[in-house]
Amino acid sequence: MPSKTTGKLAVADFIQHSAVVSELDNLKKRFDPALPGGKPLVVSDVLDADGHQYVNLVQKGGGVFGIALVGYTYVLEEMGIRFLRLAGTSAGAINTALITVIKNKQDKKSSEVLQAICDLDFFSLVDGHPAARSIIKNFITQKDYLAKARNKLLGVLAAFALLVAGDVILVGLSSQYPALYVWTGLCFILTGFLSLILGIGVAYFIDLFKRLKNSGYGINPGDVFYDWIKGLLLQNNVATVSELNEKAADCPPLQLRVPNESGLADLKGDVTFIASELVTQNKIQFPAMCTLFRTDIDTLPPAGFIRASMSIPIFFESYMINDIPTDDPRIQAAWKQYFGMSHPPATARFVDGGILSNFPISIFYNANVTVPRLPSFGIDLDDSKPADKEDNAFSWSLTGYFGRMFNTIRNYYDKDFLLKNEVYQRGVGKVDMSDDKYNWLNFFLSDEDKIDMFVQGVKAAVAFLNAFDWDAYKNDRTAMQIQLKK
């Protein structure tokens, strides 16, 4: 609920929620060696001088479900876990970006991220044409909106058909019954008025479609989001790609809990945002692949990487990088290196990274390390509805059908990696967002819904830490690497 003193959603409404306080308190008691039955929480062999344990973290995309991601990372931070390498797609890219740039790597970030959520009017992100905004809002907030809209349209068409039929009948009868002339005229007037309304409606929707086409088939420009994330980056002194890379790499001196032949020399912090490039049909990893588009990477805005990653097709306009210097040998060499292409495009067009890789945990795979020093954690958002999870293909709803089709495309690459490297699944926690009240495109969330999503993330993180076994994870990954080398 909003703060009683200000009437506005506040950070305390999230972290002081009774369920959050209870879940975290029980977790801390379980991992408090000073208490009877308590034991230390061990999730990594990489530590800093203050005892923080470091992990790699990937966050899945999922629209407004990103609030649940914040609840999950809040628990990890409260339990002394920090993040060395970070990766995310779409909504996951947003929390990934904020965790990267806020304060220092050894600091907690969740309060600042929550403050950004409290200050943001989610509905402002739907910054398209007023008619489109209205349609989107009704479509998302009213479960039977499509049925009502269809029935209204059918009613108007039926009325039009009846009026036309009435015109024909009355014209024929009025020659024999002059008294019907008045009714004939009235019927013609109503028919003409309804024809005008229908004509205006058709012309309006044609105009909207032209606007949609001219805007790259995106309903919302995404400018409000871009300005919002850019402002947050600037508040944290990140204006260039170099400053973003410096923030991601900067970390305190690290040490190993136990000796490891791989040592610490190669352990560096970094950040990755996934976007899908349509012109060349490739998965792009920002900021690592900035050299594909500019020789001076600092001419690219870091906010654009997150904007590109969350460009939900149709809902948001594509993010564009224009005027790529295709004749520059350095640009050509970069395209050759990454994709084997000799002729770079002059313009790159990006949509949601989740189209190709919604859960890019494979980024953290290092074939040169036999015994892992730290785990790769992942936060998975499960929003498939109960009826649409069934194997009986005839039981799925229409949204379930399209959801299955879309998920098959966006999850295949990541799923393939996890199947081949099954031990990585042990580092993945799943947040259940399958309740019918949740919709990943619902930018009209109530404050109560935002808090509830945060609580769901908290509960998922607590369940994950209660079950995670670092020694088993480390041993199984070691065995997997040895087997692969054979």
Average pLDDT, the chain: 87
Percentage of residues of the chain with pLDDT beyond 70: 86
Burial class (CB in 10 A: 0-12, 13-18, 19+), 298: middle
Task: Tell me the one-letter amino acid at 473.
Answer: Y
pLDDT in tens, 276-297: 999 999 999 999 999 999 999 9
158 in any annotated domain: yes
Taking only the tens place, the pLDDT of each residue in 78-94 is: 999 999 999 999 999 99
8 band by pLDDT with thresholds 50, 70 and 90: confident
Lowest model confidence (mean pLDDT) among 10-24, 191-205, 234-248: 191-205
Residue 434 or 99, more confident:
99
Predicted local confidence at residue 456, as pLDDT: 96
CB 283 within 8 A of CB 188: no
Give the structural domain span for 161.
130-215
Query: In 316-397, which residue ranges form alpha helices assigned H by DSSP?
Result: 329-339
pLDDT-derived band of residue 274, with 50, 70 and 90 as boundaries? very high
Please, which pLDDT band fits residue 474 given cuts at 50, 70 and 90? very high
**Is there a domain that residue 38 lies in?**
no
What is the per-residue pLDDT across 243-272, written as a single tens digit (0 to 9) for each? Answer: 999 999 999 999 999 999 999 999 999 999
> Which residue is associated with the tokens 């393939």?
416
**C-alpha dihedral, 405 to 408 to 409 to 415, nearest 10°:** 170
389-444 tens-digit pLDDT: 556 665 556 556 656 666 666 666 666 677 777 888 999 999 998 877 777 778 88
183 within a domain of the structure (yes/no): yes
Q: Is the dihedral of CA 51, 252, 97, 62 positive or negative?
A: negative
Look at residue 345 and tell me if it is in a domain. Answer: no
With beta carbons less than 8 A apart as the criterion, state whether 298 and 290 touch.
no
What pLDDT does residue 100 have? 98
* Residue 155 included in any domain: yes
pLDDT of residue 314: 82
List the Cα angle 452/458/476 in 5-degree steps: 145
The model's pLDDT over 327-369, given as tens digits with 9 standing for 90+, comes to: 999 999 999 999 999 899 999 999 998 888 888 899 999 888 9
Q: Give CA–CA dist 411/413, Å, rounded.
A: 6
Residues labelled catalytic:
90, 352
Residue 481 covered by a domain: no
Among 14-18, 32-36, 134-138, name the one with the lowest average pLDDT.
Answer: 134-138
Question: What does the pLDDT read at residue 252?
Answer: 96
DSSP 197-256: HHHHHHHHHHHHHHHHHHTTSEEE--HHHHHHHHHHHHHTT--SHHHHHHHHH----EEE
In a domain, 207, yes or no: yes
pLDDT digits (tens, 9 = 90+) for 359-378: 889 999 988 899 999 999 99
